[in-house]
């Protein structure tokens, strides 16, 4: 395959290619250093990314004193201090009930990110020293509780259908060890450390999720909408493939290199398949309709929560006006979480288009900005008199010279 032109690579980077095209480009990029370098250049020159990364990358996103997300307990210490280039995997072992015995080959556990009734998520390091997130699911516990393991079918559907997308989490490897199902995916940024995770690993790692950011309440309205736009692009890709996420909520939005990604695809399903009413009640529509509009409803609730976390003085700050029409944004949110399915946007694509239409463009934004800027202060009377005197100096000098000449005649 020849190297794709730059515009096609740009569309690939934004996840806008059709599935077949995206897969072909994905394979080519993996083997082509030239296209890899071009993609890196595109990411750096992308104005949206610059805007977003500048806003979030320079400082901690956690307000001091803010509570950490419930799903991110303080990590346990790493099991080893090995830092060799190629690491020898630990042999597979049966895990105890508390998960204290590590039994996943080829991955060294580093820190606990979160845990629930039937599994846990760990920060791990693979054999070549790359950090990943590894989700571990106890199949025995699920079986004893009489609960169907949705995760395996969700993973199969996701890995087969979804190609690489900048705003959807990437799943790298799926495996089974004993009675444990596990899979690795992109690791979220640390709450305090800007940028990606690398050696040395943060000693008190806590994954950066949208929950953390909302609780911190440090975002401006422009950034809130940028987060929503990116998430809607990822969700729109799932909807184009007739897939439903079914669990869109702040704790399932992670940040990787300060970019938001829709994660936790454990209950993802195909829309046409019979589905049970599953998900997080707060983000499920009142009519309990499980289709694309259910994901849209969750996005509406999520967007409303983000906007409510923005300090009021920042929304109306004339020194830093927003590029978004707040009245139209409110209309988008209201329609997104309408109680009845038929009144909501019918897909993430439709919601994204309406959200994009709420942006002030070109001259209109410049005019609004000019109106918002305070008038320059008037100079004091003494300063005005001084400037008036300076303006008249040439005439005063001319008059003095003329009087001197006349006195000599």
User: Stretch 66-77: mean pLDDT, rounded?
Assistant: 39
C-alpha span between 193 and 205 (Å, rounded): 9
Residue 203 has pLDDT above 90, yes or no: no
Q: Which residues contact 407 (CB under 8 A, 6 or more apart)?
A: none
- Residue 188 within any structural domain of the chain: no
Question: Residue 28: which pLDDT band, with cuts at 50, 70 and 90?
Answer: confident
pLDDT at 58: 43
Question: Residue 26: which pLDDT band, with cuts at 50, 70 and 90?
Answer: confident
- Residue 343 within any structural domain of the chain: yes
User: Stretch 128-141: mean pLDDT, rounded?
Assistant: 92
Q: What is the dihedral of CA 360, 364, 368, 370, to 10 degrees?
A: 130
pLDDT at 38: 80
Look at residue 2 and give its three-state secondary structure. coil
Nearest to 345 by CA among 292, 390, 388: 292
- Residue 123 within any structural domain of the chain: no
Residue 119 has pLDDT above 60, yes or no: yes
pLDDT at 274: 54
- Are 105 and 177 spatial neighbours (Cβ–Cβ below 8 Å)? yes
Residue whose pair of structure tokens reads 């370098």 in the numeric block: 37
Question: Residue 303: which pLDDT band, with cuts at 50, 70 and 90?
Answer: very high
Residue 314 has pLDDT above 80, yes or no: no
- Residue 254 within any structural domain of the chain: yes
Percent of the chain with pLDDT over 90: 31
pLDDT in tens, 326-375: 889 999 999 998 999 999 999 999 999 999 998 876 544 454 444 444 55
The count of structural domains within the chain is 2
Q: Which of 26-35, 162-171, 269-278, 366-375 has the least mean pLDDT? A: 366-375
User: Stretch 176-183: mean pLDDT, rounded?
Assistant: 90
- Residue 262 within any structural domain of the chain: yes
CATH number at residue 327: 1.10.510.10
Residue whose pair of structure tokens reads 């800007």 in the numeric block: 194
pLDDT at 86: 38
pLDDT at 77: 36
Residue 318 has pLDDT above 90, yes or no: no
Residue 66 has pLDDT above 60, yes or no: no
DSSP states of 109-139: EEEEEEE-SSEEEEEEE-TTS-EEEEEEEEH
Q: Which of 7-11, 35-39, 249-253 reaches the highest mean pLDDT?
A: 249-253
Nearest to 330 by CA among 225, 236, 247, 252: 225
User: Stretch 43-70: mean pLDDT, rounded?
Assistant: 46
Residue 83 has pLDDT above 50, yes or no: no
Beta-bridge partner residues of 210: none
C-alpha span between 264 and 188 (Å, rounded): 12
For the beta sheet containing 180-185, the strands, ordered from the edge strand earlier in sequence to the opposite edge, are 108-115, 119-125, 131-138, 180-185, 171-177
Q: What is the C-alpha end-to-end distance of the chain, expressed in Å? A: 98
- Mean pLDDT over all residues of the chain? 76
Q: Is the peptide bond before 200 cis (omega within 30 degrees of 0)?
A: yes
Q: Which of 46-55, 236-245, 392-401 has the least mean pLDDT? A: 46-55
Q: Which of 200-209, 264-273, 279-288 has the least mean pLDDT? A: 264-273
- Residue 115 within any structural domain of the chain: no
User: Stretch 143-170: mean pLDDT, rounded?
Assistant: 87
Q: Domain range spanning residue 25? A: 1-35
- Residue 47 within any structural domain of the chain: no
Task: Please report how many Cα atoms fall inside a 13 Å half-sphere around the Cα of residue 173, on the Cβ side.
Answer: 15
Q: Which residues contact 49 (CB under 8 A, 6 or more apart)?
A: 43, 259
Question: Residue 385: which pLDDT band, with cuts at 50, 70 and 90?
Answer: low
- Residue 49 within any structural domain of the chain: no
User: Stretch 102-106: mean pLDDT, rounded?
Assistant: 86
Nearest to 203 by CA among 193, 212, 216: 193
């Amino acid at each position: 395959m020849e190297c794709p032109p730059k515009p096609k690579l740009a569309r690939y980077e934004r996840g806008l290619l059709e599935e077949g095209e995206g897969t072909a480009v994905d394979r080519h990029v993996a083997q082509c250093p030239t296209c890899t370098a071009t993609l890196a250049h595109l990411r750096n020159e992308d104005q949206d990314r610059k805007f977003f990364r500048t806003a979030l990358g320079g400082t901690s996103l956690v307000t001091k004193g803010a509570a950490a997300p419930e799903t991110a307990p303080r990590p346990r210490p790493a099991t080893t201090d090995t830092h060799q280039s190629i690491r020898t995997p630990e042999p597979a072992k049966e895990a105890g009930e508390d998960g204290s015995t590590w039994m996943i080959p080829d991955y060294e556990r580093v820190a606990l990110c979160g845990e629930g009734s039937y599994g846990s998520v760990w920060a791990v390091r693979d054999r070549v020293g790359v950090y990943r997130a590894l989700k571990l699911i106890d199949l025995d516990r699920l079986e004893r509780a009489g609960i169907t393991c949705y995760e395996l079918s969700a993973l199969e559907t996701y890995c087969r259908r979804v190609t690489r997308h900048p705003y959807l989490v990437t799943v790298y490897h799926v495996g089974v060890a004993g009675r444990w199902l596990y899979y690795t995916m992109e690791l979220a940024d640390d709450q305090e450390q800007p940028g990606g995770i690398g050696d040395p690993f943060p000693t008190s790692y806590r994954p950066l999720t949208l929950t953390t950011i909302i609780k911190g309440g440090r975002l401006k309205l422009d950034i809130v909408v940028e987060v929503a736009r990116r998430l809607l692009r990822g969700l729109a890709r799932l909807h184009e493939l007739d897939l439903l996420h079914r669990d869109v909520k702040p704790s399932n939005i992670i940040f990787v290199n300060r970019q938001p990604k829709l994660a936790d695809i454990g209950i993802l399903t195909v829309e046409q398949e019979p589905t049970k009413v599953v998900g997080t009640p707060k983000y499920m529509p009142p009519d309990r309709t499980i289709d694309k509009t259910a994901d849209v409803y969750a996005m509406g609730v999520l967007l409303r929560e983000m906007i409510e976390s923005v300090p009021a003085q920042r929304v109306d700050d004339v020194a830093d006006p927003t590029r978004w029409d707040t009245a139209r944004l409110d209309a988008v949110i209201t329609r997104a979480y309408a109680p009845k399915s038929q009144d909501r946007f019918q897909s993430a694509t439709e919601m994204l288009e309406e959200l994009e239409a709420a942006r002030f463009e070109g001259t209109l934004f410049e005019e609004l900005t000019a109106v918002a800027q305070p008038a320059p202060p008037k100079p004091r009377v003494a300063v005005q008199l001084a400037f008036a005197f300076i303006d008249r100096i040439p005439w005063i000098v001319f008059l003095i010279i003329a009087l001197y000449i006349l006195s000599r005649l």
